[in-house]
């Protein structure tokens, strides 16, 4: 993900307002590899700036997704997750704690099917599910 300074310039170039609240959100996202929910970002941001609304967090995250700066994921863990890693990768989801990890797996043997109705595939998502080390240890397996 781009630095907070780069995201600030990107927002300005797109004609979007750059507020202290948005800059705080940019800082919360920078270097965050935990695939945070909007609620998790909101919690982090309000520790620094208590008046930031959840709506502002959602709007900023969706603006970033619309600009291609992060990807919104629905991994079946409840709230949508936001992934700032734009490099090709897949995800591992822990069914115990819900934590999401990036993993790089060669999925090149998977071929995109051709659809007769003209449907165009823009991306393929591969998600591996199981239990992380901590959850496996806690379960005694």
Domains and CATH numbers, the chain: 4-73 (1.10.10.10), 87-139 (3.30.1490.190)
Q: What are the C-alpha distances in Å from 97 to residues 104, 106, 118, 140?
A: 21, 26, 39, 15
Longest dimension (CA), the chain: 54
Given the DSSP bridges, would you call strands 127-130 and 90-94 parallel, antiparallel or unpaired?
A: parallel
* Residue-wise pLDDT tens digits, 18-32: 999 999 999 999 999
- pLDDT given for residue 108 in this prediction: 72
How far is the C-alpha of 83 from the C-alpha of 109, rounded, in Å?
A: 24
pLDDT in tens, 91-122: 999 999 989 999 998 877 777 777 778 888 77
Confidence (pLDDT) at 104: 93
Rounded to whole angstroms, the Cα distance separating 99 from 132 reads: 8
The dihedral through the CA atoms of 13, 16, 17, 23 has a sign that is negative
How far apart (Å, rounded) are the C-alpha atoms in residues 15 and 95? 41
Query: What is the structure's pLDDT at 141?
Result: 66
Per-residue pLDDT, 17: 95
């Amino acid at each position: 993900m781009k630095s907070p300074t780069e995201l600030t310039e990107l927002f300005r170039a797109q004609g979007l307002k750059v507020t202290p609240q948005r800059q705080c959100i940019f800082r919360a996202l920078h270097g965050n590899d935990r695939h945070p929910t909007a609620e998790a970002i909101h919690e982090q941001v309000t520790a620094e700036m208590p008046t930031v609304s959840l709506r502002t967090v959602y709007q900023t995250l969706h603006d970033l997704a619309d600009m291609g700066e992060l990807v919104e994921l629905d991994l079946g863990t409840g709230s949508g997750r936001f992934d700032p890693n734009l490099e090709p990768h897949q995800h591992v989801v822990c069914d115990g704690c819900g934590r999401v990890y990036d993993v790089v797996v060669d999925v090149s043997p998977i071929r995109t099917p051709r659809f007769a109705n003209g449907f165009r595939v823009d991306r393929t998502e591969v998600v591996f599910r199981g239990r992380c080390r901590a959850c496996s240890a806690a379960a005694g397996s």
